[in-house]
């Protein structure tokens, strides 16, 4: 890292255009919402500007904190599974022959170019009680039963029981893993891609096993990508609302649904803004704690 | 990896299967038909919506990839005052709930009297895509050996040449990954797009979300299938061309 | 209350209940009235197949047809201002809300001669007395769709709200006003109550009923019904009707306690750039032939009496579309509940979190 003073021209050319865009077309609009978070709701959802903290007081009521906590859990579990599924995939693409890399990347992202709603409906068709997955399992079950009957063991398999895969938290997690997989895979891929394959070969040649190579060579080098990817998947899962609404059961409401409702059927922009900013403050506290812990580990510079 | 691809494409296969289903509802198999492809090809509203989506996604991906790369590069590269808060601000669009940003945008555009339409949609898409690209670029740049750049300077190259010949090629895979994310985000966005759209700027997601109320027909599945097949075909062509030119270089 | 002026706006302020409301009304974009254009904002496929082309043929006006996916989001957008739309299709309570928020144009009836075709039953709705702001369009109901062979006859909301016979085989809509509304009706209250005790009673009943539900589903109850995931759902009549066409075992009923009905109306939002063309369009859709073509396409009940002569007989005779008169008398349309809406929101949050 160099100080911006050493190279003022390069610094301003790089930083100013994107920053200007973000400030004008994001930060300023967001300030309006911040002002709204202190406002009062009118009878039809009008916004009466005021300075009151009632919206924040309501936002930190137990019931809302409970919903936030539940969302954190669901997001954490789905991020962990997304990582378990996504890391090997990212590694596979990064270490594939050069000419296949871009094709594989495209194949990973292609399913996400069909509309989210259509994809989610497709998942419903797969997971429902009489969906493709249960049909497949039932077929397997019948084949095995027939096989056991043939070798003189009828009834070992019993009656086929369809799996209840939809309208519960499991379905929400599956849906979230599916929706946010590329947001985890792509940053990890971008970091791993530069890893020289020869490092790994050297490690293997030196007698380190595959697992040891993975944990002591690949993982540490991939860390920046892993952190970014997991954070993206986690934050995006936290704010989701379509997946729990369509795949979830009667207790799957997440904080994203609650916030979305304030801007639609409950017509309470001030409360919706307060909830959004509460989420924002919490995220920054977490990131700040993480940063200060990381710097303490490194010691004073 | 094979298992993951199975997971990725399982619902897509179901989606494609239902595009041939002779039923208005995507539930039970009622027989084979191509009539939804005919309908999708005839539906000019669907084409307009598709075209709007592709236009927005194309422009927003290009601009946000460039801006995001610049931002990611400078965050990795420079030390400057208030860097922490600045980074926080840059990443806000990822953290803030989509609907909150959507309402903020529409309030803002009305305040500055910018008429809603494809322009306002694109402007907003660029804003929320920049941080995603920046995150990927930063992850890519971490661990970049600055000695390479120093070597380039030592060899007499100036700043621009060094960037173009050393840094840029190194960043490229990160840019590809970032651009793919930006394109996907833009193509699939409903909430922010809906709020920032005006007369004549209905996009594909808006069309689909609105359809759900009265009739989701397999027409949409047919249109999605066409998009998937087209992308795959174009990729195959690109691969063939690439390998041919590669062979020429090898033999040339 | 400590009000201060909004820093970004140069627009006028509305005086409302002693507080200065931020009225981000659209100031018009100076589009000339002569332009042969019209911007319609509506649901997808909520008109006839030839409605727009016949309008262009008759008047020479080109229609730009844009879509919304949710009335509340449409309203949220108009809260910032009118982006340039001339005609919108809100429902009952939304019409009332938009009137109260000063977003709709009071209609000049002399420019809509076909208004005479509207069924007198719909001319004095609670949400817009005298239809000063809307031309009634289509109407429908929210009732119970069910599988006859599994549940027999259904005549009460009890089966969904207060019964465990079909535990795990039922679903409700994910719409807070409609779900709490029918629960209030079942309990003998008004679907538009602003009494916190009555809303709490409905909430408690729903929390109890929730254990037996598969989910609160957004507009996909009919799919769950036909796929066999559930046997009883609360759904819109039009949606259940579509699956009834594919499965004889399914049917639709409006329970004896009555239900919440919806009535959509055509409105002109304030700030509409092509006002004259908007009136022409309203008149066009109130024409008997044109309106009948819409009804025959969307299979919802029309409020246009003259159009019924041209509506398919099968639809007219179908009680799931044209509910018997006594059902209408027992039912209620949603109203703008104003300051009580946060009570409904809080109740809904507790139901979801319980």
ipTM confidence = 0.89
A138 touches chain C (CB under 8 A): no
Q: How many Cα atoms within 13 Å fall on the side-chain side of residue A243?
A: 25
What average pLDDT does this structure show over A174-184?
A: 94
Out of A25-29, B247-251, C183-187, least confident range = B247-251
Quick one: pLDDT at residue B27? 66
| Integer Cα distance of B38 and B229 in angstroms | 16
Contact A186, A209 (CB under 8 A): no
**B213-231 mean pLDDT:** 80
pLDDT value at position A99? 78
Cβ–Cβ < 8 Å for A154, A144: no
C25: closest chain B residue by CA: B110
Instruction: Find, in chain B, the residue whose alpha carbon is nearest to that of C237.
Output: B214
**Given this model, what pLDDT does residue A226 score?**
93
Contact C105, C115 (CB under 8 A): no
Supply the pLDDT for residue A84: 95
pLDDT for C12 equals: 33
Which strand (E) or helix (H) includes residue A86?
Answer: helix A62-94
Question: Domains of chain A (ranges plus CATH)?
Answer: 71-128+165-263 (1.10.3720.10)
In 3D, which of C7, A239, C161 has the Cα closest to residue B108? Answer: C7
Mean pLDDT in residue range B27-46: 83
> Is residue C221's pLDDT more than 70?
yes
Q: Is A41 on the interface with C (CB under 8 A)?
A: yes
What pLDDT score was predicted for residue B250? 59
Q: Helix, strand or coil for residue C262? A: strand
Contact across the interface for B228 and A21, Cβ inside 8 Å? no
User: Fold for domain B45-216?
Assistant: MetI-like fold (1.10.3720)
pLDDT at C246: 84
CA C211 centroid distance within chain: 29
User: Residue A125 — very low, low, confident or very high, per pLDDT cuts 50/70/90?
Assistant: confident
Q: Parse chain B into domains and list their residue ranges.
A: 45-216, 218-252
What's the alpha-carbon Rg for chain C, to the nearest Å? 21
Instruction: Compute, in degrees rounded to 10, the torsion defined by CA atoms A98, A103, A108, A111.
Output: 170
Nearest partner of B179 among C28, C34, C173, A182, judged by Cα: A182
Q: What is the mean pLDDT of residues B206-212?
A: 86
Residue A59 to residues B104, B170, B212, C6: CA-CA distances in angstroms? 19, 46, 32, 24
For the stretch A233-263, pLDDT in tens is 999 999 899 999 999 989 899 999 999 999 9
**Nearest one of A177, A185, A137 to A157, comparing CA atoms:** A137
Q: What does the mean pLDDT of chain C come to? A: 88
Question: Do the two domains C30-139+262-324 and C141-261+333-353 of this chain adopt the same fold?
Answer: yes
A74 CA to chain B: closest CA distance, Å?
A: 17
Q: Does domain C141-261+333-353 have CATH number 3.40.50.300?
A: no
pLDDT at C30 over 50: no
> What pLDDT, on a 0 to 100 scale, did the predictor assign at position C204?
97
pLDDT digits (tens, 9 = 90+) for C180-194: 999 999 999 999 999
C138 or A204: which carries more pLDDT confidence? Answer: C138
Q: Which of C345, C351, C354 to mutate to test the interface with A (most CBs of A within 10 A)?
A: C345
Cα–Cα nearest to C350, from A67, A112, A240? A67
Residues of B with CB under 8 A from a CB of C: 23-28, 30, 45, 103, 106-107, 109-111, 113, 115-116, 190, 194-195, 197-202, 206-207, 209-215
CA distances from C70 to A45, B210, C175, C349 (A): 16, 7, 11, 20
- Predicted confidence band at C10 (pLDDT cuts at 50, 70, 90)? very low
- The confidence score (pLDDT) of residue B17 equals 85
Distance (Å, whole) CA A273 – CA A286: 20
Residue A238, Ramachandran bin (φ over 0: left; ψ between -120 and 50: alpha; else beta):
alpha
Residue B231 to residue B229: CA distance in whole angstroms: 5
Length of chain C: 354
- Residue C286 and residue B64: Cα distance in Å, rounded? 47
CA distance readout (Å), A93 to A27, A58, A178, C88, C182: 36, 47, 18, 50, 54
- Average pLDDT of the residues in A171-194: 92
pLDDT above 70 (res B11): yes
Q: Please, which pLDDT band fits residue A143 given cuts at 50, 70 and 90?
A: confident
- The reply to whether residue C345 touches residue A266, judged by beta carbons under 8 angstroms, is yes
What is the tens place of the pLDDT at every residue in B125-182? 999 999 999 999 988 888 787 788 888 888 888 888 888 888 899 898 899 999 999 9
Residues in chain A with CB shorter than 8 Å from the CB of B10 are 126, 132
What phi and psi values does residue B201 have, to the nearest 5 degrees?
Answer: -125, 40
Nearest CA in chain B to A188: B139
* DSSP string computed for B41-99: HH-HHHHHHHHHHHHHHHHHHHHHHHHHHHHHHHHHHEE-TTHHHHHHHHHHHHHS-HH
Q: Which of C6, C215, C226 to mutate to test binding with chain A, by most A CBs within 10 Å of its CB?
A: C215
Mean pLDDT in residue range A20-45: 94
- This prediction's pTM: 0.90
pLDDT score at C184? 97
B11 to chain A nearest CA, in Å?
5
CB nearest to A3's CB, from B79, B180, B227? B79
Q: What is the pLDDT of residue A196?
A: 67
Q: What is the SS3 assignment for A125?
A: helix
Q: At what angle do helices A219-238 and B118-141 cross, to 10 degrees?
A: 150
Confidence (pLDDT) at C13: 34
pLDDT at B131: 95
Interior angle at CA C134, CA C129 and CA C139, nearest 5: 90
Q: Decide if B112 contacts B105 (C-beta within 8 A).
A: no
Q: Which residues of chain A lie closer than 8 angstroms to B176, CB-CB?
A: 102, 105
Average pLDDT, chain B: 87
Which range, of A109-118, B179-188, B240-249, C128-137, averages the lowest pLDDT?
B240-249
Residues 6+ apart with CB under 8 A from C312: C296
Alpha-carbon gap, residue C162 to C212, rounded angstroms: 10
Residues 6+ apart with CB under 8 A from A264: B99, C70, C72, C73, C76
Polymer length of chain A: 301
B171 to chain A: nearest residue by CA? Answer: A190
- What is the Cα–Cα distance from B158 to B190, expressed in whole angstroms? 45
Extract the tokens encoding B99.
């609907």
pLDDT digits (tens, 9 = 90+) for B96-114: 999 999 999 999 999 999 9
**Phi and psi, residue C172, nearest 5°:** -115, 165
So where are chain C's domains? Answer: 30-139+262-324, 141-261+333-353
Mean pLDDT score, C259-270: 96
Question: How close B36 comes to chain C (CA, Å)?
Answer: 16
Percentage, residues of chain C above pLDDT 70: 90
Q: In this complex, which of C70, C77, C242 lies closest to B24 when CB atoms are compared?
A: C242
pLDDT at B213: 73
Superfamily of domain C30-139+262-324: Periplasmic binding protein-like II (3.40.190.10)
């Amino acid at each position: 890292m160099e100080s911006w003073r050493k190279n003022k021209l390069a610094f301003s050319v790089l930083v100013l255009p994107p920053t200007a865009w973000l400030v004008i077309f994001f930060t300023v609009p967001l300030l309006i919402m911040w002002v709204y978070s202190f406002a009062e709701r009118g009878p039809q959802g009008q916004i009466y500007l005021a300075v009151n903290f009632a919206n924040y007081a309501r936002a930190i009521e137990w019931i809302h904190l409970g919903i936030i906590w539940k969302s954190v859990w669901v997001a954490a579990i789905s991020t962990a599974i997304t990582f378990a599924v996504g890391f090997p995939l990212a590694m596979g693409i990064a270490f594939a022959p050069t000419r296949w890399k871009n094709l594989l990347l495209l194949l990973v992202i292609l399913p996400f170019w069909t509309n989210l709603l259509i994809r989610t409906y497709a998942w419903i068709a797969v997971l429902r009680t009489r969906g493709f997955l249960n049909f497949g399992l039932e077929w397997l079950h019948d084949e095995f039963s027939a096989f056991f009957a043939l070798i003189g063991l009828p009834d070992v398999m019993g009656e086929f029981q369809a799996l209840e895969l939809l309208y519960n938290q499991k379905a929400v997690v599956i849906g979230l893993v599916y929706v946010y997989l590329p947001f985890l895979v792509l940053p990890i891929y971008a970091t791993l891609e530069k890893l020289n394959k020869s490092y790994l070969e050297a490690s293997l040649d030196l007698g380190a096993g595959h697992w040891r190579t993975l944990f002591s060579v690949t993982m540490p080098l991939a860390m920046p990508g892993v952190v970014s990817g997991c954070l993206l998947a986690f934050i995006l899962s936290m704010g989701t609302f379509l997946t729990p609404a369509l795949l979830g059961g009667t207790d799957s409401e997440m904080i994203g649904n609650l916030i979305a409702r304030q801007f639609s059927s409950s017509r309470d922009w001030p409360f919706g803004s307060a909830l959004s900013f509460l989420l924002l403050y919490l995220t920054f506290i977490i990131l700040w704690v993480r940063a200060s812990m990381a710097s303490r580990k490194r010691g004073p510079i | 990896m094979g298992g993951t691809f199975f997971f990725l494409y399982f619902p897509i296969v179901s989606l494609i299967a239902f595009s041939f289903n002779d039923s208005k509802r995507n539930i039970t198999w009622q027989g084979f038909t191509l009539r939804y492809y005919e309908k999708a090809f005839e539906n000019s509203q669907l084409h307009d919506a598709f075209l709007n989506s592709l236009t927005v996604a194309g422009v927003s991906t290009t601009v946000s990839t460039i801006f995001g790369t610049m931002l990611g590069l400078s965050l990795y590269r420079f030390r400057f005052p208030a860097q922490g808060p600045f980074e926080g601000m840059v990443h806000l669009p990822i953290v803030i709930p989509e609907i909150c940003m959507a309402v903020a945008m529409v309030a803002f555009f009305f305040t500055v009297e910018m008429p809603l339409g494809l322009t306002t949609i694109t402007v907003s898409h660029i804003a929320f895509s920049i941080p995603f690209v920046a995150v990927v670029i930063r992850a890519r740049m971490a661990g970049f050996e600055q000695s390479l750049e120093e070597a380039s300077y030592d060899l007499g190259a100036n700043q621009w040449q060094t960037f173009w010949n050393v840094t840029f090629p190194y960043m490229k895979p990160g840019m590809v990954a970032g651009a793919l994310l930006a394109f996907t985000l833009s193509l699939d966005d409903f909430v922010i797009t809906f709020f920032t759209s005006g007369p004549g700027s209905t996009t594909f997601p808006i069309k689909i979300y609105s359809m759900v109320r009265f009739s989701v027909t397999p027409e949409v599945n047919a249109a999605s299938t066409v998009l998937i097949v087209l992308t795959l075909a174009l990729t195959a062509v690109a691969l063939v061309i690439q390998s041919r030119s590669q062979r020429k270089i090898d033999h040339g | 209350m400590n009000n201060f002026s909004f820093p970004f706006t140069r627009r006028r302020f509305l005086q409302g209940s002693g507080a200065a409301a931020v009225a981000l009304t659209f100031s018009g974009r100076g589009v000339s009235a002569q332009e042969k254009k019209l911007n319609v904002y509506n649901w997808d496929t909520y008109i006839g197949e030839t409605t727009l082309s016949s309008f262009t043929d008759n008047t020479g006006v080109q229609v730009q047809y844009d879509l919304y996916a949710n009335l509340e989001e449409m309203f949220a957008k108009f809260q910032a201002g009118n982006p340039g739309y001339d005609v919108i299709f809100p429902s009952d309570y939304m019409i009332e809300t938009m009137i109260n928020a000063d977003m709709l144009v009071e209609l000049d009836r002399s420019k809509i001669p076909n208004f005479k075709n509207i069924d007198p039953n719909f001319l004095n709705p609670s949400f817009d007395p005298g239809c000063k702001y809307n031309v009634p369009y289509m109407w429908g109901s929210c009732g119970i769709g069910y599988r006859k062979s599994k549940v027999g006859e259904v005549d009460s909301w009890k089966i969904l709200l207060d019964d465990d016979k079909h535990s795990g085989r039922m679903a409700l809509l994910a719409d807070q006003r409609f779900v709490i509304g029918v629960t209030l009706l079942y309990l003998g209250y008004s679907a538009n109550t602003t009494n916190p005790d009555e809303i709490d009673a409905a909430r408690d009943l729903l929390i109890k009923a929730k254990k037996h539900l598969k989910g609160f589903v957004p507009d996909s109850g009919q799919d769950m019904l036909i796929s066999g995931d559930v046997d009883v759902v609360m759904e819109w009549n039009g949606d259940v009707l579509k699956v009834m066409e594919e499965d004889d075992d399914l049917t639709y009923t409006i329970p004896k306690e009555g239900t919440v009905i919806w009535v959509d109306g055509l409105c002109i939002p304030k700030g509409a750039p092509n006002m004259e063309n908007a009136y022409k369009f309203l008149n066009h859709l109130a024409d008997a032939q044109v309106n009948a073509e819409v009804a025959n396409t969307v299979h919802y009940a029309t409020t246009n009496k003259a159009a019924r002569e041209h509506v398919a007989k099968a639809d007219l005779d179908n009680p799931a579309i044209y509910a018997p008169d006594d059902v209408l008398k027992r039912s209620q349309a949603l109203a703008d509940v104003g300051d009580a809406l946060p009570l409904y929101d809080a109740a809904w949050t507790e139901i979801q979190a319980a």
